[in-house]
Amino acid sequence: MPSKRNNLKTSHTSTLRKSALGSKQWASVLDAVSDPISVHSGTGQILWANKMFCELCAIPLSKLRGLSCEQAFHAESAASAHEISWEAAQPDCEVTLCEKLWSVTIKPLSTNEKNSGFIRVMRDVTEQRRIRRHLLDAERFASLGQMLFGIAHNVGTPLNIISGYSEFLLMRRKPDEGGHKELSAILDQTKRIAVLLNEALDVARPGHRQVSAIDIRALLADALNLSAHYFRKTGVLTALTCGMSSPLIYGEAPQLRQAFFCLLLNASQNVGTGGRLEIAIAESRDMPGFLSVSLLGTEATGRGHDFSRSFETFERLPGDRCEVIKSGVGLSLARHVLDEAGAIMTFAESEERGVPIIVHLPMRSGG
């Protein structure tokens, strides 16, 4: 008959086996979780980590045990989130690791004992924060559009007065008299300001759908003029060429101007400081009845830029899907406008010139 001591030993062994089995089951469950999770001692040493945590550190669990998070990630910038004790650590914070933004939550393992350890859960919030930035930008631009209406109407009156008096004084002077040149410059610049304000209002005005014949070369020249300040700031050189005698299309000029403005800005950002951006207009070889607008980029190193990567999502996103395009601000709107105009986006690979993005637009002859 087994002794009481043997019974206790058997019972204890059974409990340990069940505990080990339960630990393995929990480990299996946590390994399947997509968020990096780690368990720490009261002094901050890693006791256990799931598969995602190990992959993020690029260190196996056997070598992670006994390390602090700071040692595991080799990231000085993340030290604020890897304090030794959960009591000293921020319960919720954000850190940047492996070019991603992570939300870090630290919870104690036990509320009854001090320094009994803590569990650390990381969540990838890169996409969430990016979408939030886009939404904030959209709200900011919407409010700026409303402000623009008020500014344009308030500026209109003094502009009319300046141009009216300039024209009146100009009529009283002969071309060779003093002040004629200066008055002509004042009149020309006030008219230019008025045109720019009207173009901006055309873009911001809701429900504006006036379809007309558009000289795409002039429209692209306007878009380049509007973005000239950004190009000068980054040192990006631009060139516009046209291989057609009558590059006419039909559409809504203000919306198309804004679409190409967004495309040009994002293209210049992708090319980088000191790069070059070429815009070439030609008849589409493989698409009768279309003309093509090609954006070719050259980086500062002289290497042709691959727009198939920077505009990858832009090219394949259907126009009826409400998604935020990852390539840059304003490209969702640009794609929607170009879809409405019947445009088709493609890429043409070239060994010498990189990979340009090509916008094919329905064309009508100007006869």
Q: What is the pLDDT of residue 5?
A: 47
For residue 3, name the pLDDT band (cuts at 50, 70, 90). low
**For the chain, what is the HEC assignment?**
CCCHHHHHHHHHHHHHHHHHHHHHHHHHHHHCCCCCEEEECCCCCEEEECHHHHHHHCCCHHHHCCCCHHHHHCCHHHHHHCCCCCCCCCCEEEEEECCEEEEEEEEECCCCCCCCCEEEEEEECHHHHHHHHHHHHHHHHHHHHHHHHHHHHHHHHHHHHHHHHHHHHHHCCCCCCCCHHHHHHHHHHHHHHHHHHHHHHHHHCCCCCCCEEEEHHHHHHHHHHHCHHHHHHHCCEEEEEECCCCCEEEECHHHHHHHHHHHHHHHHHHHCCCCEEEEEEEECCCCCCEEEEEEEEECCCCCECEHHHHCHHHHHCCCCCCCCCCCCCCHHHHHHHHHHCCCEEEECCECCCEECEEEEEEECCCC
Mean per-residue pLDDT of the chain: 78
Q: What is the pLDDT of residues 259-300, one digit of tens each?
A: 898 899 889 988 989 999 999 999 988 888 899 999 999 999
pTM beyond 0.85: no
Residue 18 or 337, more confident:
337
For residue 313, name the pLDDT band (cuts at 50, 70, 90). low
Averaged over 55-64, what is the pLDDT?
Answer: 89
Q: Is the pLDDT of residue 68 over 50?
A: yes
Q: What is the pLDDT of residues 153-198, one digit of tens each?
A: 778 788 888 888 888 888 888 888 888 888 888 988 888 888 777 7
Q: Is the pLDDT of residue 323 over 50?
A: no
Q: Is the pLDDT of residue 104 over 60?
A: yes
Q: Is the pLDDT of residue 251 over 60?
A: yes
